[in-house]
Every structure is written in structure tokens, then in C-alpha cells.
Structure 1
Amino acid sequence: MTTQSPPVRPPTVRRRRSSLRLVGWWRHGRILVGLVLLAVASTAAIIGFSEDVPRSVLVVPVVIGSLVLNPRTLPWFVVLLLALLVSTVVFSPDSIDARAIWSIAVMFVVGLFVLLMSFRRTRLGVAGIQGESMFVDLRDRILNQGGIPALPPGWHAESALTSAGGTLFAGDFVVASRPTRDRLDLVVVDVSGKGEQAGTRALLLSGAFGGLLGALPPDQFLPAANDYLLRQDWDEGFATAVHLSLDLTTGCYEVRSAGHPPAVLRSAGSGRWSVLTSEGPVLGLMPDAEFIPHRGVLERGDAVMLYTDGMVEEPRRDIDLGIDRLLGEAESLLRGEFRDAAQRLVDALGSKDDDRAMVVVNRL
């Protein structure tokens, strides 16, 4: 029996990683030393000028430390601050009164709260500001993933997204890809749950669906997305989606739906909106699912809209009535002008308590 030794990294890579690690330690060490000196100076000021300097000044290093120190260092720093707080009582007992007792009690409560938060952050392994910046970066990536690529002359496409509660983390997202010069693929997805609860699943699925969309033929995307969701084995592991594959040369298109509200088409000849019926089950519920496409051709002046159920569903209202309202609003609000159409429709329609996404593609 033979065993394979782990791959050996080149010396330059090892040196670079060691240098980056040393730089990180040096920066964190300087911050820690600065906070310790601030805490000691505050304690000395409290003991030496107990009548003028309140003990509550020790809250400042606690708050700063909770933001910039990593979870391994923060608990020890909080313990040090509480020990310094006790030392103010030992070395200046004459200053203890009811006001000072309340101040000490509040400080201990704050310290306990910061300790609990540091234990929770240990799972992530980064400080508070770093964790927030990571989430902001992930949010920006999911928004950029839904950006519509540049289209050739004669085509216009745009998207709009609004989450429940006004946050930028939503269970609805858009993925766009232009795998070839003549083809545009757009997918609008609604992940189970709402707002921030579905945001983490949406972040993961956005990256996965983006890779699948650019790598697979149109008829294989939804089956592959369905298999991916089934493999995750989530408690709430389902999602609905609608997929548009468009030939930018001929205008031929295919629309496939996975348990999603149907796409709608405006014909320039009649000026009317109609529903594009396609069939398919919700993603992540059943294996070997089949998705029946709706095929057609976009002529000049035609437009197609993809949207999520937040645009057409409201409590105590049937979804068919919501689709009728969407068509009526599009007919009266747009009137053949599709600049900023997606944002205008998102602002005008749907439930404010649900995530809403809209994509509009128009052949000029």
C-alpha cells in the first residue's frame, strides 16, 4: 500500500503567505497594544481623579475592541478591562457611592454582552468590522452577478430588485450570462424564505447558477440547477425560477419555468401583453424533473418580462389577479417606452413585505 505525500508549495508561495500572516499579526498586535494602553490610562485617570473622571470611560475601549479585535483576543481583553474596573474600586474606595455602583454594574453587563458576542463570532473567525465587510462584499457580488451584460445594437435589457424590509439581502436574485456572441441567458430565481432569512441561500445559489448558466446549453440548465438543490439537502431547499434563452441575431427565444410565475410578452403589432405558458416543477423537490419550454420570436418593438411572485402576490389575492394587474399596469405605465421599465414596475406593484425582482428585455 502506497501513500501520497501532500503537495509541496513552492518556496515563494510559502514566503508570501508567511509574510502576509506576519503583517496581519503585526497590525492586530499594534491595535491590541494601543487598546491596552488606552484602558490602563483610563484606569489611572479614574483612580487619580475619581471625582472628575467617571468609570464609564472604560466603555470606550470595550466598544472599540469589540469592533476590531479577533474572537480569540477579545475575551481576554474584556477580562482585563473588568479587572481594571475592579482595581478602581480597590484603589479608590472613597469614591464608591450609589452612582458608582450603578456605573460598575452597567460596565459588567456590557462586558458580559461583548463576551457572548465574541463567542458567537468564533464560528466566523473574524472581528466585527471584518465580518460586516465580508457580507458587504458578498452582497455586492450577488448584485454584480445579476448585472445585464452589454448587448449589441437593437437590444435593451434591464433588471431591478427590491427586498422585503428594504435590506440589500434578498431571496430573489437575477443571474445573467452571454456565453456566446449571439446568445443571452437570463434567470430570475425566488429562493424559499424572505429577506435576510433567504439571503445566505441566495448568495450560494447565485454563484452556482451563474456557473451553470454560462457552461450548459439552455435545455440543461434547469435540470442541473434542480440536481444541485437536491444535493444540498436543505430543510427549506426549494426555489422557483424562470429561464430565458435569447438568440440576439434572429430574436428566437425559449422560456422555461420551474414552478415560477409565467413570463409575459408584449407584441408590438397588437400592443397587448400575453402570458407565455411553460411547465416545470419547483427546483429541489423531485429528481429527473422535466421542463417544457415555450418558444417564439421577438420582433422589433416586442418585449418580454420575467419577475418573481412578490410582484403579483399579495395576502388574500389570487396570483392570477396579480398577473392581470401586472399586465394592466405595464400597458398603462410603459406605453411602449421601456427605459427604466423594470424599476418603475417594481416601485408600482407587489407586496412591500416580499422580495421583488423584475427583468425586462426589449428588441428595439
Structure 2
Amino acid sequence: MSPARDRGTRSAGERFESALNRVVPRGSRILVALVVATVAIGLAIWMFSAQTPLVTLLVPLVVSSLVLGPRQLPWFVVFVLFVLALVVPLQDPINARIILTVVIIFGLGLLVLVSSFRRSRLGVAGVQGEQMFVDLRDRILRQGGIPTLPDDWYAAAELRSSGGTPFAGDFVVASRTGNRLDVAVVDVSGKGQGAGTRALLLSGAIGGLLSALPPGDFLPGANTFLLQQDWDEGFATAIHLSLDLDTGHYDIRSAGHPPAALRHAGSGRWEVLEAEGPILGLIEGASFEVVSGEMRRGDALLLYTDGMVETRTRDIASGIDKMLGQAERLLRGTFEGGAERLIGSLGSRSDDRALLLVHRR
């Protein structure tokens, strides 16, 4: 196609698009299409009642619940029910099957209306609202992704929720500045989707604080942020690792969180690193002790949430012993994939779980 003809084709397409926008605005095209489809179905039922059942009206009703916004959806549902009311008297005979069909359609229309009123709080259509939550979920998972590390370091984070969905009250955020890696493992109060909404907000704030503040100011900053939130369950536990990737020097600070565990390659033994500090969001001006050390070649470090080690029948101390025993078995030979193996074999399935594994090769 010549450039002149291509420009002419584009110009014709643009003119058609402009004319269509003047007649039917872009945001109303789906609504108009559904109205036309509903009218066509109504006419088909009226003219060919024997061949076109009443339940055909459920098609635009169901589609509208997925694609229409909260302002348009209630009016369209009323329109569909109005079309149903017009075509019902044309049914011959009006028997129990017809009456039951009408009741079912009206009942489903009522359910769609109720869902549209609840959806109005979000202000978007069903598919769009789901996409928003998927996008938020993906952002949380990306924040928990470990930055690129030097070849002599390996790190992996794993997350499991009590409800089996990626929305959970436990999350991991990581940041790398120069030769320093900062990682925080956080456990928001609550479980599953109930805690997931608070985790959505807190993960963004924690990620910003982690990359913006010096290691010693991170937990105090997170504590101040939580104190400013008007939450019924406005607290969280966290553990923060600041690791020098050149020397292996680490600083660990904890806010009411289960202790980290360090495996010494030389002895093959695990050491529990207790760091004292209050839960975030409870005490103003709280201070957090630091536990420092150095990771040597072959050493490994575990950071985790209480869902990994605590159940209804087992306390945290016993759970830590069991976790370290499993870690010795599952991490033997290779640490790659070890975080996934550990989180799959440990912890309570009724609680959120998060785990971070760091290994110096």
C-alpha cells in the first residue's frame, strides 16, 4: 500500500472513529451493545416464544455484571427485568415452568443489583476491580523479589497464605543500595485476606522506608508509621536484615518477631540470633537492639514468620527446633530451592507463612 493510500485509510478510520464517538461515547458502547442485545432477545421471545426461552435474558444480565460499572449496572438490570415483564404475558400457556423461570431471573437480577450497590464503594466494574487487586498483588510480590546479588550470594523468599491466595498478612520486602542488602520480613496482625488489606498499605510504606532510611532508623520509622494509622488491629511484627555483600557483616533487628537462625558452615550447627524489640505500632519512641555478626563462606541465614514455627499444639521454641531439624535435612547438599522446600514442609496451614533464606556460597 502506498503512503498516500495508507494515510487516506487512516484518515477514513479516524473520521469514522470520531463520528462514532459523537453518536456513542466510548464509555457507553458496551452498555448500548447490551441494550441492543436485550431488545433483540425480547423481540425474539415475543415473535418466536416457542423457540426462544425466557432464560435467554440471563445472558445480557450475567455479562452486564462483569463489564458494566456501578452507575450503569442497576439501571440495566431494571431494564432487563422490564423487558422480562413485557414478554411474560405473551407466553402461552403460563404454567409452573414459566413462573419458576421468572422467579429465577428476578432473583438473579436482585443479586446483581445487590452486588452493584456493594461494588459502588470501589467505583469500578467487576473485571476492572479484579484487575486492580491482581495488580496490587503483583506489586507486593515484586517488592518481595530479591534484587540481583553477586555470584557468591544466594537469597530466596517464599510466601504462603492461610487461604491459599497471594493476599496474606505476611510479606517480604527487599532493597539493595550499593553493596548493602536490606530485607524485612513482616507479619501483620490477622490472617489471610483479613490481614491482606492492611498488608497492601503497609508493604508499600515498608518498602519505601527500607530503601530511604539508614538501617538503624528503619524499624523506628515503621513503628511511627503504624502508630499513625487508625487501625483496629494496628500492629505488626518484623525482622530486619542489613547485610554487607562485600564483607558478609550483618545487622539484625527485631520487633516482636521470631528470632533469625544462622547456620555455621564450619560446625554445621544452627545458632538462634535473639534480637529484642517491641511489636510495631504499640509503643511510641521504641528502640530496637541489634545483633551483629559475619556470614562466612558456606553460612546460611533464615528469617521467617511465626506461621512457620507455631501451631495450636506447639509453641514457638519447639517449632524452631523442628524447623532447624528440617532445614538440616532439606538444605543438605544444595541451598537453591531450599526456601520452597522448607515452607512446603513446615508450619501451620491455617496461618500465613513467609520465609527468607540467605546463603553465602
CA distance in 2, matches of 1:94, 1:202: 57
Percent identical: 63
CA distance in 1, matches of 2:271, 2:93: 79
How many Å apart are 1:318 and its aligned residue?
1.2
CA distance in 2, matches of 1:262, 1:160: 17
Please name the residue that 2:107 is paired with. 109
How many Å apart are 1:54 and its aligned residue?
1.2
TM-score normalised to structure 2 length: 0.92
Please name the residue that 2:11 is paired with. none
Please name the residue that 1:164 is paired with. 162
Code of the residue aligned with 2:358 in structure 1: it is V
How many Å apart are 1:93 and its aligned residue?
4.7
Confirm whether residue 274 of structure 1 aligns to residue 271 of structure 2.
Answer: yes
CA distance in 1, matches of 2:91, 2:309: 68
Q: Is residue 78–residue 111 contact of structure 1 (8 Å, CA) maintained in 2?
A: yes
CA distance in 1, matches of 2:212, 2:103: 60
How many Å apart are 1:270 and its aligned residue?
0.4
CA distance in 2, matches of 1:88, 1:354: 53
Please name the residue that 1:352 is paired with. 349
Cα deviation per residue 1:230-262 (whole Å; 9 max; x = unaligned)? Answer: 100200111100000001111110000100000
Which aligned pairs between 1:287-302 and structure 2 lie closer than 5 A? 287-302=284-299
CA distance in 2, matches of 1:356, 1:27: 45
Cα deviation per residue 1:93-125 (whole Å; 9 max; x = unaligned)? Answer: 533111000100111111111011111111111
Code of the residue aligned with 2:49 in structure 1: it is S
Q: Secondary structure of 2:157's partner?
A: strand
Code of the residue aligned with 1:103 in structure 2: it is T
Confirm whether residue 322 of structure 1 aligns to residue 319 of structure 2.
Answer: yes
Q: Is residue 163–residue 193 contact of structure 2 (8 Å, CA) maintained in 1?
A: no
> Cα RMSD between the aligned structures?
1.4
How many Å apart are 1:333 and its aligned residue?
1.5
Code of the residue aligned with 1:34 in structure 2: it is A
CA distance in 2, matches of 1:217, 1:72: 47
Code of the residue aligned with 2:55 in structure 1: it is S
Q: Is residue 239–residue 255 contact of structure 2 (8 Å, CA) maintained in 1?
A: yes
Q: Secondary structure of 1:359's partner?
A: strand
Please name the residue that 1:88 is paired with. 87
Q: Is residue 257–residue 305 contact of structure 2 (8 Å, CA) maintained in 1?
A: yes
CA distance in 2, matches of 1:57, 1:260: 57
Please name the residue that 1:219 is paired with. 216
Q: Secondary structure of 1:47's partner?
A: helix
Please name the residue that 2:202 is paired with. 205
Q: Secondary structure of 1:265's partner?
A: strand
Please name the residue that 1:237 is paired with. 234
How many Å apart are 1:153 and its aligned residue?
2.2
Q: Is residue 190–residue 240 contact of structure 1 (8 Å, CA) maintained in 2?
A: yes
- 1:248 aligned to 220, 245, 248, which one? 245
How many Å apart are 1:48 and its aligned residue?
1.3
Cα deviation per residue 1:283-309 (whole Å; 9 max; x = unaligned)? Answer: 111111111010000111111110010
**Residue-pair matches, total:** 341
The answer for unaligned runs of 5 or more in structure 2 is 1-17
Please name the residue that 2:137 is paired with. 139
Confirm whether residue 62 of structure 1 aligns to residue 97 of structure 2.
Answer: no
Cα deviation per residue 1:120-144 (whole Å; 9 max; x = unaligned)? Answer: 1111110000000000000000000
Q: Secondary structure of 2:52's partner?
A: coil
How many Å apart are 1:181 and its aligned residue?
1.3
Q: Is residue 28–residue 69 contact of structure 1 (8 Å, CA) maintained in 2?
A: no
Q: Is residue 263–residue 277 contact of structure 1 (8 Å, CA) maintained in 2?
A: yes
Code of the residue aligned with 2:311 in structure 1: it is E
How many Å apart are 1:348 and its aligned residue?
0.8
CA distance in 2, matches of 1:93, 1:309: 63
TM-score normalised to structure 1 length: 0.92
Confirm whether residue 128 of structure 1 aligns to residue 126 of structure 2.
Answer: yes
Q: Is residue 191–residue 202 contact of structure 1 (8 Å, CA) maintained in 2?
A: yes
Code of the residue aligned with 2:73 in structure 1: it is L
Code of the residue aligned with 1:33 in structure 2: it is V
Which aligned pairs between 1:42-57 and structure 2 lie closer than 5 A? 42-57=41-56
CA distance in 1, matches of 2:191, 2:250: 30
How many Å apart are 1:336 and its aligned residue?
4.9
Q: Is residue 68–residue 128 contact of structure 1 (8 Å, CA) maintained in 2?
A: yes
Q: Secondary structure of 2:181's partner?
A: strand
CA distance in 2, matches of 1:26, 1:253: 59
Confirm whether residue 332 of structure 1 aligns to residue 308 of structure 2.
Answer: no
Q: Is residue 245–residue 253 contact of structure 1 (8 Å, CA) maintained in 2?
A: yes
Q: Is residue 238–residue 285 contact of structure 1 (8 Å, CA) maintained in 2?
A: yes
CA distance in 2, matches of 1:93, 1:182: 77
